[in-house]
């Protein structure tokens, strides 16, 4: 997996200022301000209903904020986003996308279709030799060659998640956002995926992981943000945020954090 240039490291790729947003008549954000930078691996934590997945929807442009004075949402420095250009710079792994994939779709086609911003190729899309080569390389890197011609619906949860990650990487994006990537995975699949994410971070790709599982946060994470009821209530390095008192306040229950090999596990306090 080639290393990515770090020329843009430190630049703000997500700029939220006083954002208000609604879903189905319910306000999920009232006055949310947040900056995320390239090169800064970040974990977003919070209880159910805290706004984690809604934040991913803002990033993916499937949710739009209310337009009001003093408020903005900028991606890579721009309020006006060309979705095609955004796909070149931002990769997404979400349960929403996974749910949209037809059970009969072949894994290799799922990857190739990503070059067109589509789920499947259809009759009028013909990948180039370079795109096919890129796809085959990703299948090898994510150990999916044996599953490349299998229907998506027959894959295990771990294999599906690896296909989604490989798909998110077809354009070699600067940033990859993952929404609950280890949810529902057994231990072997979870550890396999975490190993791939750590390798990805080592090559210079910025990772943002949305999760409620403390043991899914790789040791390389540099920043942890805690959300509750659509507001940031914690923000800092892991050693400060992933501790007994801050997490107990975030989840409103007594908790105790234990650490081994750079990973953390949470126990009842």
pLDDT one-digit tens code per residue, 236-266: 999 999 999 999 999 999 999 999 999 999 9
pLDDT value of residue 7 = 43
Residues contacting residue 166 through CB under 8 Å, at least 6 positions apart = 111, 138, 139, 141, 142, 144
pLDDT tens-digit profile of 6-30?
A: 445 789 999 999 999 999 999 999 9
Q: Is the pLDDT of residue 5 over 60?
A: no
pLDDT tens-digit profile of 160-198?
A: 999 999 999 999 999 999 999 999 999 999 999 999 999
pLDDT value of residue 1 = 55
pLDDT tens-digit profile of 107-145?
A: 999 999 999 999 999 888 899 999 999 999 999 999 999
Structural Rg of the chain based on CA atoms: 19
Percent of the chain with pLDDT over 70: 97
**Residue 176, φ and ψ in degrees, nearest 5:** -125, 125
pLDDT value of residue 122 = 84
Q: How far apart are CA 143 and CA 2, in angstroms?
A: 17
Confidence of residue 2 (pLDDT cuts 50, 70, 90): low
Q: Which residue has the higher pLDDT, 3 or 40?
A: 40
Percent of the chain with pLDDT over 90: 90
pLDDT value of residue 124 = 85
Q: How far apart are CA 23 and CA 29, in angstroms?
A: 10
In the block, tokens 């955004």 appear at: 86
């Amino acid at each position: 997996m080639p290393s990515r240039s770090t020329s843009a490291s430190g630049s703000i790729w997500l700029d939220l200022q006083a954002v208000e947003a609604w879903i189905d008549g319910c306000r999920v954000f009232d006055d949310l301000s947040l900056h995320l930078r390239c090169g800064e691996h970040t974990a977003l934590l919070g209880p159910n209903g805290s706004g984690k997945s809604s934040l991913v929807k803002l990033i993916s442009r499937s949710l739009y904020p209310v337009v009001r004075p003093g408020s903005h949402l900028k991606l890579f420095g721009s309020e006006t986003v060309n979705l095609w250009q955004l796909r070149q710079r931002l990769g997404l792994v979400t349960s929403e996308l996974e749910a949209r994939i037809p059970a009969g779709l072949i894994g290799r086609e799922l990857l190739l279709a990503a070059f067109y911003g589509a789920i499947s190729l259809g009759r009028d899309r013909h990948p180039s030799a370079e795109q096919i080569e890129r796809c085959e390389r990703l299948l090898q890197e994510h150990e999916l060659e044996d599953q490349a011609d299998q229907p998506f619906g027959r894959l295990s949860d771990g294999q599906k998640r690896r296909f989604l990650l490989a798909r998110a990487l077809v354009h070699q994006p600067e940033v990859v956002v993952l929404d609950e990537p280890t949810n529902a995975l057994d231990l072997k699949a979870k550890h396999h995926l975490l190993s791939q994410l750590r390798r990805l971070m080592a090559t210079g790709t910025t990772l943002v992981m949305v999760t409620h599982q403390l043991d899914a946060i790789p040791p390389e994470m540099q920043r942890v943000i805690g959300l509750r009821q659509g507001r940031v209530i914690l923000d800092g390095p892991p050693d400060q945020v992933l501790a007994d008192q801050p997490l107990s306040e975030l989840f409103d229950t007594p908790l105790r954090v234990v650490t081994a090999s750079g990973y953390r596990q949470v126990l009842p306090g």
